Amino acid sequence: MRTLVFVALLAGSAFAQVGELRLESTVRRAVTIESAGPVELVGNVVLTDNEAKPVVSEVGIVTLRHNYRWIDVTARKTLQEFAQLTPLNTSEEGVSRWILSGEPGEYVVEAVAFDSELGIKRATGTVVLLPILPPKPPDPPVPTPVLPSDFDGIAAKVLQKASGMDGAKAIASVYKRWSQKIMEDPSLTVGGAGPLMAQEVASITSQLPAASREKWTGVAELINSETRNRWPMPKAVLSQFWSCIAAGMEASR
């Protein structure tokens, strides 16, 4: 809640009695019901027709504390654009209140008080209404990765072993690149490509934190076991095998 207190400007000091005129304002959040039918408030429950729409906005509460008989208050954004001032009932003596509503922006509030004995007095201030931004939508749920089921679900097995491991995406990139390279480079053999790829993977895993290196040890044991069970593999099969491992590593982080 923002509160502003404004000191009145004395316009006439030639009178024996001292006039008091103090302008205060606060900014509150209001809910307006846009409804073609009647709106009924029961406690803090609002009853409306089916087409009613609640609108949340900022409003100003303008308070004048005074001992004058007549007062006039205006609130304007520009020379042509005025805020709406709706009187609020108050039982406090010498206090008048209004709800200031309008489009977001800065409004100049001007109060003029008059009394035949106290003379004329003025008070001015500003009220700033900010727009109410809609709530940020929740983040979309993270999609469940769709993993290839080839090779007895090697991708899912790798995902389970490598879950949360640092460097998983970098290792996945190496496996993916070599799964393509072994098919594109005729000079590469099945026996020769594996050690070359292993060197690249080792340069990544050697830099990992201890916990991730331990995870990789489990992943590597799984991959080596699955590889031995299927060896030898033709180039096309090995390429697909490495591609599945890449998918499991990519999904693990």
Q: Which pLDDT score, from 0 to 100, does residue 136 have? A: 87
pLDDT band (50, 70, 90) for residue 17: low
Alpha helices in the chain (DSSP H): 150-162, 168-184, 190-205, 210-230, 235-251
Distance in angstroms (rounded) separating the CA atoms of residues 82 and 76: 4
DSSP β-bridge partners for residue 119: 115
The Cα-based distances of 187 to 51, 158, 183, 238, 253 in angstroms read: 73, 29, 10, 15, 33
pLDDT of residue 177: 96
Model confidence at 1: pLDDT above 60: no
Does 104 have pLDDT greater than 90? yes
| pLDDT beyond 80 at 4 | no
Cβ partners under 8 Å of residue 49, min gap 6: 35, 36, 37, 38
**What per-residue confidence (pLDDT) applies to 147?**
87
Of residues 144 and 9, more confidently modeled: 144
Confidence class for position 12, pLDDT limits 50, 70, 90: very low
**What was the pLDDT predicted at 133?**
85
pLDDT at 11 over 90: no
pLDDT at position 41: 86
pLDDT number for residue 10: 37
Alpha carbons within 13 A on the beta-carbon side of 199: 4
Mean pLDDT of 48-66: 90
pLDDT at 7 over 50: no
- Mean pLDDT for all residues in the chain: 89
13-27: b (≥16 Cβ within 10 Å) or e = eeeeeebebbbbbeb
If DSSP codes are grouped into helix, strand and coil, which group holds residue 62?
strand
Q: Which residue has the higher pLDDT, 225 or 36?
A: 225
Q: How big is the chain, counted in residues? A: 253
Predicted pLDDT at 19: 83
Q: Decide which of 250 and 134 is more confident.
A: 250
The DSSP code sequence of 95-162 is EEEEEEE-SSEEEEEEEEEEETTTEEEEEEEEEEEPP-PPPPPPPPPPPPP----HHHHHHHHHHHHH
How far is Cα 152 from Cα 49, in angstroms, rounded to an integer?
60
Distance CA 93, CA 111 (A): 18
Model-level pTM? 0.52
pLDDT per residue over 215-247, tens digit each? 999 999 999 999 999 999 999 999 999 999 999
Cα separations in angstroms, 41 against 46, 49, 85, 144, 196: 5, 13, 21, 47, 76
pLDDT digit string, tens, across residues 161-181:
999 999 999 999 999 999 999
Under DSSP, is residue 164 helix (H, G, I), strand (E, B) or coil? coil
Tokens encoding 220: 């590597």
